[in-house]
Amino acid sequence: MPLSAEAVREALRGVKDPELDRDLVSIGMLKDVAIADGAVTVNIELTTPACPLRETIEKDVRAAIVKLGAKQVAVTFTSNVLGRRPGPAQARIPGVRNIIAIASGKGGVGKSTVATNFALALARYGARVGVLDADVFGPSVPGMLGDATSPAVTASGQKIQPAVHYGMKVMSIGFFVERDGAVIWRGPMVHKLLTQFLEDVEWGELDYLVCDLPPGTGDVQISLSQLIPLAGAVMVTTPQDVAIADVVRGISMFKKTEVPIIGIVENMSGYACSACGHHDPIFAQGGGRKLAETYGVPFLGQIPIDTRIRIGGDVGRPIIVGAPDSEIAKTYMEIAARVAGRLSVANFAAPKRSPSLVTIR
Residues found near ligand ADP in the complex (CB under 6 A): 104, 107-113, 140, 267-268, 303, 305-306, 309-310, 313
Nearer to ligand ADP, 105 or 151 (CB): 105
226/253 Cα distance (integer angstroms): 13
Q: Which amino acid is present at 258?
A: E
What is the sign, positive or negative, of the torsion defined by CA atoms of 97, 151, 185, 246?
A: positive
| Minimum CB distance to ligand ADP, residue 356 (Å) | 36
151/178 Cα distance (integer angstroms): 15
| Minimum CB distance to ligand ADP, residue 116 (Å) | 8
Nearer to ligand ADP, 109 or 227 (CB): 109
Nearer to ligand ADP, 263 or 313 (CB): 313
H helix runs in the chain, sequence order? 5-12, 54-66, 111-124, 141-145, 187-199, 219-227, 245-256, 287-295, 307-315, 319-322, 327-349
Nearer to ligand ADP, 237 or 347 (CB): 237
Nearer to ligand ADP, 80 or 267 (CB): 267
Residues comprising the chain, all counted = 361
The residue among 232, 310, 316, 215 whose CA lies nearest residue 268 is: 310
| Minimum CB distance to ligand ADP, residue 307 (Å) | 7
Nearer to ligand ADP, 48 or 117 (CB): 117
Nearer to ligand ADP, 15 or 166 (CB): 166
- Please spell the DSSP secondary structure of 74-142, one letter per residue: EEEEEE----PPP-TTGGGSTTB--EEEEEESSTTSSHHHHHHHHHHHHHHTT--EEEEE--TTS--HH
Q: Which amino acid is present at 180?
A: D
CB atoms inside a 10 Å sphere around CB 297: 21
| Minimum CB distance to ligand ADP, residue 89 (Å) | 26
Confirm if 130 and 208 have CB atoms less than 8 A apart. Answer: yes
| Minimum CB distance to ligand ADP, residue 205 (Å) | 28
The residue among 214, 200, 210 whose CA lies nearest residue 92 is: 200
| Minimum CB distance to ligand ADP, residue 114 (Å) | 7
| Minimum CB distance to ligand ADP, residue 314 (Å) | 6
Nearer to ligand ADP, 65 or 115 (CB): 115
Nearer to ligand ADP, 108 or 188 (CB): 108
47/160 Cα distance (integer angstroms): 30
| Minimum CB distance to ligand ADP, residue 109 (Å) | 4
What are the distances in angstroms from CA 94 to CA 102, 110, 120, 161, 194?
21, 30, 22, 16, 16
Nearer to ligand ADP, 112 or 344 (CB): 112
| Minimum CB distance to ligand ADP, residue 158 (Å) | 32
292/266 Cα distance (integer angstroms): 10
| Minimum CB distance to ligand ADP, residue 53 (Å) | 27
CB atoms inside a 10 Å sphere around CB 179: 9
- Which residue number places its CB atom closest to ligand ADP? 110
Q: Is 300 helix (H, G, I), strand (E, B) or coil?
A: strand
DSSP state of 350: S
